[in-house]
Structure 1
Amino acid sequence: METNEREYALVFEGQVAEGQDVEEVKTRFAAFMRCDPAKTEALFAGRRIIVKRFPSREAAEQGAARLRQLGMVMAVVAVEKKTVWSAPPTPMPAPESSSSPEPAPAGEEQPPATEPPISPENPAEAPSRPPRPVASGQRRMPFVFSGSGGEFYKIWVVNVLLTILTLGVWSAWAKVRTMRYFYGNTSLGGNAFEYLAEPVKILKGRLLVFAVFAAFSAVAQLYPLINPIGGLILLLLTPWIVRQSLRFQRHYTAWRGVRFAFTGSLGESFRAFLLWPLLTVFLFFLPVIWHRQTHYLIDRSCYGSARFANRSTVGNFFVAFAILAVLGLVLGAAGGIGVAALGQMVQELAPEVRQMSALAGMVLASLAWVIMSALYKVRMVNLRFGKTEIGPHRIVTSYAFGSYLWLVLTNTLGIMLSLGLYYPFAKVRTARYAAEHTEMIIQGDLDDFVASHQAGVSALGGEAADFFDIDIGF
């Protein structure tokens, strides 16, 4: 039986949005659609391909929006549905087993042998095949970052100029614009994250912190002996600042309209960020401190009414500590031998050459520090996020030391050579790396999570953390 009905098709001709890198778009598309490399290359070969057909323009536009977030140039066109079979259609094969799409004949749009699914908002219009399962009843859901360095560079330049012109007042708006850009370009299951904080609240917190700091500085000019007291007060306030910062950050973050929350108590923060760190004089306790802080940061975080849970053990952190200690000893020994040998070589050289040798030694020491920092970051991310669960779902991370070290080194070199102008691109590259190496293993339906009622929290703690540069590492 034949009927002539109109439907709407997503058409792709291999083009990417302005300012986007083709290879990066391919990588995001492959991760998002779970496509094999051969199929991805075929889709980006420049041929006119109908990616998927929809019964309504609204559904097609939703599907196009998903792929546009990845950087692809998509068009929605009306096409005639030539044949409708009364018998049930054959289920669409999985993307991995499909053949590469063939070129469309001139004057006619021909869909590929297999149309990759899109994941629209409406569950009724969901793809006919779920992502590749990892176990019975489970499926993978990768994070996707669709921002670009060129886009963020424009935002960053405007933020810097306005912050300077307004003597820092615009910094609150700059923070919100930056956070909304990165949150809005980070998605999970086709749904972007939201940053809901208002600039005025952040500005009030910053002004109050600045006023307290300025008042203390003025008094310290008259009575220098109180400077140590100020340091002690800041140390005692650190647990409160950390807790308020986490509450503010979680409360104004949302996904699918449901807010996050942080329920950690001040006493727990005091023990994790003040009492236990006092034991750092005994290096053996460092893994215990990492373990306690990790569980405070994650186990007290919630998404709606669902609580996160980290499954790492003290033993996991002792292993990380041992690896870092061995690498530190190796780098330290190699550096010491190198410095000693270099010292012997330059004793009889001119002072200018000795100064250059000293500079080379500083560069090598900085490189060693970058290597140690990269290894620490990789181990901590994989322990904190890679062992975190929320309800029946769990997060999986795949940070690798080699690839992350390359990212850090190239970002650092780019920032140095460009006198800081490469910073926006470095920040985007880091966000993309995080998304590409993080995914969720979904068990059941994420819609089961229900938002819990959360009271508003003050921005003061968050801004105090920014002002005093207190890094909570999460």
Structure 2
Amino acid sequence: MHAAAAVPTTADLPPPNTEPAPRVLEIRFTGSGSEYFRIWAVNLLLILLSCGLYLPFAKIRRIRYLYANTLIDGEALAFHGDVWKMFRGFVLMAVLMLVYTFAGEFSPMAALLAFVLAGAAWPALWRASMQFRLGNTSWRGLRMGFEGSLGAAYLAYLPVFVPAALALAWSLKSEGSGGGVLAWLGQALQLAALLAAPWSTALIKRYQHSGYRIAGEHSGIRLHTRSVYFIGFKSVLLAVLMLVVVSICAFALGSLLGLATTGKIDAKGSSTYAGFAWAGMVYLFVGSVVPPYYASRIQNLVWGNTHSASLRFRSELSGLRGLTLKNWLLIVATLGLYRPFAVIATMRLRLESVSIESSTDPATWVAPAGTERTDASGEVARDFFGMDVGL
């Protein structure tokens, strides 16, 4: 007779999976276009009446409104920045920008020196901006922070700044030479700066997303430079394709308008109409397709590879191109009055496309001491240089 099969006991069974499922911290944006329009209109009026001196106060009103309507796991962000510290930074940046603007009026060498000095100061101001913004941002009473080193900030911008500075210096040196080898070399340096842009972007994003901190969570990122180059390459191809399509459509539209107004296809008149049509379509269609495509792919790539010990981020941003085209058409149609509504719609799309998974309960996080930053000059620098960092 065969022996009876052994009945498995509780001790023989594999241990159950006791690791809790990650908790999803939902991001919601509750801002209203009509509410933000009132803030925007008052800010614009006071900026005009104060000849620009109200800019820091307008900025802090805008930040506080947007933060108060950004909810993570049902809790809003808060901004604690001191407006008078931002105002002092504003005055400092105004003086620096005046020096930079008027330097070119004296001599080309002064313009080059001002460019080099501005470029040398920018990484430090950019780092100070992130330290100030995050050091004065809180969630659930926990202050955030940024811990990137100053040397790494300079390294992030070096691939673009060096060839750009050399190209500017070379153009000043070869000015009036009539082209030839000197002009070709200057163009090669400009091309080198463009080709180094994705490399610098990868360095910048690594620097940013490796320095964020809240409580005991320190962010990190796995980002390959080749992935950024691939997105840049596809963006360039998309831009070329869009320019070809726009050029064909502009030529056809110009010919039709010339025929409608003169009764014949006049080369001179048609080219004028085609030029206007081309400029308008480039602004509306190329501008609303290529930059949003690049921005959405970079956001998905960067945030999809950002993590900390307990947090994992995901980004599934889509639809930004269609929204941007709609926003631009409405801004043009309303002579700019739709801009606050466009800002709110874009922020909602970009923020709510990001999700956060946490393996720990944020209620157990402990806030470290001494996270507030007082230097606001870098925060103001972002507005002057037309740049912005982070999501």
TM-score (norm 2): 0.78
Q: Is the 8 A contact 2:160 2:193 kept in 1?
A: no
Q: Quick one: which amino acid aligns to residue 89 of structure 2?
A: G
Deviation digits for residues 399-421 of structure 1 (CA, Å, limit 9, x no counterpart): 01xx1111101111111111111
* 2-structure distance, mates of 1:432, 1:424: 12
Q: Quick one: which amino acid aligns to residue 228 of structure 2?
A: F
Partner residue, 2:149: 265
* 1-structure distance, mates of 2:343, 2:238: 27
Unaligned runs of 5+ in 1: 1-134
Structure 2 residue corresponding to 1:328, chosen from 239, 248, 265: 239
* 2-structure distance, mates of 1:228, 1:282: 17
Q: 1:443 aligned to 2:350? A: no
The answer to which structure has the higher helix fraction is 2
Q: CA RMSD in A?
A: 2.7
Larger mean Cα displacement after TM superposition, 350-359 or 423-432? 350-359
Q: CA deviation at 1:337?
A: 5.2
Partner residue, 1:156: 40
Unaligned runs of 5+ in 2: 1-18, 164-190, 259-263
Structure 1 residue corresponding to 2:69, chosen from 185, 193, 214: 185
Write out aligned runs for 1:399-410 (5 A): 399-400=317-318, 403-410=319-326
Given the superposition, is the C-alpha separation of residues 219 and 451 from structure 1 closer, same or farther in structure 2, using an over 3 Å criterion? same
Structure 2 residue corresponding to 1:426, chosen from 331, 342, 348: 342
* 1-structure distance, mates of 2:365, 2:374: 22
Q: 1:143 aligned to 2:59? A: no
Q: 1:354 aligned to 2:238? A: no
Q: Is the 8 A contact 2:198 2:225 kept in 1?
A: yes
Q: Is the 8 A contact 1:239 1:274 kept in 2?
A: no
Q: Quick one: which amino acid aligns to residue 378 of structure 1?
A: S
Q: 1:457 aligned to 2:374? A: yes
* 2-structure distance, mates of 1:330, 1:163: 41
Given the superposition, is the C-alpha separation of residues 318 and 301 from structure 1 closer, same or farther in structure 2, using an over 3 Å criterion? same
Write out aligned runs for 1:204-223 (5 A): 204-215=88-99, 217=101, 221=105
Identity over aligned pairs, percent? 26
Partner residue, 1:383: 301
Q: 1:173 aligned to 2:57? A: yes
* 1-structure distance, mates of 2:106, 2:235: 45
Larger RCO: Structure 1 or Structure 2 (Cα < 8 Å, ≥ 6 residues apart)?
2
* 2-structure distance, mates of 1:154, 1:286: 38
Q: Quick one: which amino acid aligns to residue 32 of structure 2?
A: S
* 2-structure distance, mates of 1:208, 1:296: 26
Given the superposition, is the C-alpha separation of residues 222 and 292 from structure 1 closer, same or farther in structure 2, using an over 3 Å criterion? closer
The answer to which structure has the higher strand fraction is 1
Given the superposition, is the C-alpha separation of residues 313 and 468 from structure 1 closer, same or farther in structure 2, using an over 3 Å criterion? closer
Q: 1:196 aligned to 2:113? A: no
Given the superposition, is the C-alpha separation of residues 397 and 283 from structure 1 closer, same or farther in structure 2, using an over 3 Å criterion? same
Q: Quick one: which amino acid aligns to residue 443 of structure 1?
A: S
Look up the SS of the partner of 2:26 in the other structure: strand
Q: 1:365 aligned to 2:259? A: no
Given the superposition, is the C-alpha separation of residues 264 and 142 from structure 1 closer, same or farther in structure 2, using an over 3 Å criterion? same
Q: Quick one: which amino acid aligns to residue 361 of structure 1?
A: W
Q: How many residues align?
A: 338
TM-score (norm 1): 0.65
Deviation digits for residues 106-140 of structure 1 (CA, Å, limit 9, x no counterpart): xxxxxxxxxxxxxxxxxxxxxxxxxxxxx951132
Look up the SS of the partner of 1:385 in the other structure: helix
Given the superposition, is the C-alpha separation of residues 288 and 209 from structure 1 closer, same or farther in structure 2, using an over 3 Å criterion? closer
* 1-structure distance, mates of 2:199, 2:365: 32
* 2-structure distance, mates of 1:285, 1:432: 32
Partner residue, 2:227: 316
Given the superposition, is the C-alpha separation of residues 341 and 434 from structure 1 closer, same or farther in structure 2, using an over 3 Å criterion? closer
Q: CA deviation at 1:272?
A: 0.4
